[in-house]
Structure 1
Amino acid sequence: MGRIAVGDTIPDGTLSYANEAHQVVNVSVHSLAAGKQVILVGVPGAFTPGCSLKHVPGFIEKAEELKSKGISEIFVLSVNDPYVMKGWAKSYPENKHLKFLSDSTAAYIKSLGLELELDVSDKGYGTRSERFALLLDDLQVKVANVETGGQLKVSTAEDMLKSL
């Protein structure tokens, strides 16, 4: 499959998170998104400057407005382990709505065709995700905002609000 696009049905896959008991919980993407309108926000890495200072805070700030327009869930996805994602989520004490999920092997990102084309293995990073925001309605992609060149211009919370 090529890159996920508007009109496609999102593939199923397994993502994970670390719960309060520090256990890793695996979840099916379809179980998270079936029958709902959700936003899946993909970021290159937890705690990275663009993701931590601009991209994720924008969704935290606009979460209630997005929910008022019919969004059930907002998921932040990165190719980091579940414990890193849990730590990153805790770095936003003001967050009440975003759920942070792990795709530690990049298997799901690859199934979407959204792995970063730039090879950063020599820096110890491994496969990374493109920066993106997908609007899903009962598993179907309604909006696919994918950044190019490390930008933050089309995948913001404001862009999603304009699409609703």
Structure 2
Amino acid sequence: MAPIAAGELIPDGTLAYLDDQDKFQQLSVHSLAKGKKVILFAVPGAFTPGCSMKHVPGFIEKAEELKSKGIEEIICISVNDPYVMKAWEKSYPENKHVKFLADGSANYARALGLERNDSERGWFGVRSRRFALLLDDLTVKVANIEAGGEISASTAEEMLKAL
């Protein structure tokens, strides 16, 4: 399947999280993004160095600026379970705007055509490619997809330039 591209309607999918009472919750991507300007970005794994020290902090630091340019939701997804995603979110006490959602089986990454198989590395299995999408009422306006291990095209700074 070809990766999602600018001009396409984002597919619906189910993501998960733990609420404030640690109860498992699910929601659809369409319910989060319909009628809104949204940034949906994905990382290969929670608590990994590049994701934890560069990618996510950039979106947390630039959240107010993104919101001032009309972004209503900033969503981080990873192929991890909701427990890991909640723990990861708590590791950023300064975060007020980025939602951390789980794509535990990589089903949504697959629906976007953005999964990658890291099984040969021995411990990762199927993950998501690193990307950032700018959505406007479910339509992809910008699809910044990283080619390899870098963190450049999918940063908060690049999303700001696109706005």
Same fold (TM over 0.5): yes
Residue number in structure 2 paired with 1:91: 91
Q: Alpha-carbon deviations, 1:125-144, whole Å to 9, x = none?
A: 22111000000000000000
Give the conservation status (yes or no) of the 8 Å contact 1:121–1:127.
Answer: no
What TM-score, normalized by structure 1, do the two folds share? 0.97
2:158 is matched with: 159
CA shift, 1:121, in A, is 5.6
Residue 132 of structure 2 aligns with an amino acid whose one-letter code is: A
* Count of aligned residue pairs for this structure pair: 163
Counterpart of 1:8 in structure 2 is 8
2:40 corresponding residue in structure 1: 40
The answer to whether 1:106 aligns with 2:106 is: yes
In structure 1, distance between residues paired with 2:119 and 2:50: 17
Residue of structure 2 equivalent to 1:52: 52
- Residue 125 of structure 1 aligns with an amino acid whose one-letter code is F
Whole-angstrom distance in 2 between the partners of 1:45 and 1:144: 20
Moved more, 24-33 or 121-130: 121-130
1:130 counterpart letter in structure 2: R
Aligned-partner Cα distance in 2 for 1:76–1:106: 14
Partner of 1:139: 138
The residue identity in structure 2 corresponding to 1:150 is G
How far did 1:120 drift? 2.5
CA distance in 1, matches of 2:13, 2:154: 22
Whole-Å separation in 2 of the counterparts to 1:21 and 1:119: 34
Deviations along 1:106-161, one digit per CA (max 9) or x if unpaired, are: 00100000012x43265232211100000000000000000011101111000000
Report the structure, 1 or 2, having the larger strand content.
2
Aligned to 1:148: 147
Once the two structures are aligned, what percentage of the paired residues are identical?
67
Counterpart CA distance in 2 for 1:35 and 1:8 is: 15
Q: Residue type of the partner of 2:23?
A: Q
**Structure 1 residues 48-74: Cα deviation after superposition (integer angstroms, max 9, x where no partner):** 000000000000000000000000000
| C-alpha RMSD of matched pairs (Å) | 1.0
- Structure 2 distance, partners of 1:144, 1:25, is 27
- Deviation of the 1:88 alpha carbon: 0.2
Runs of 4+ in 1 over 4 A off after TM superposition: none
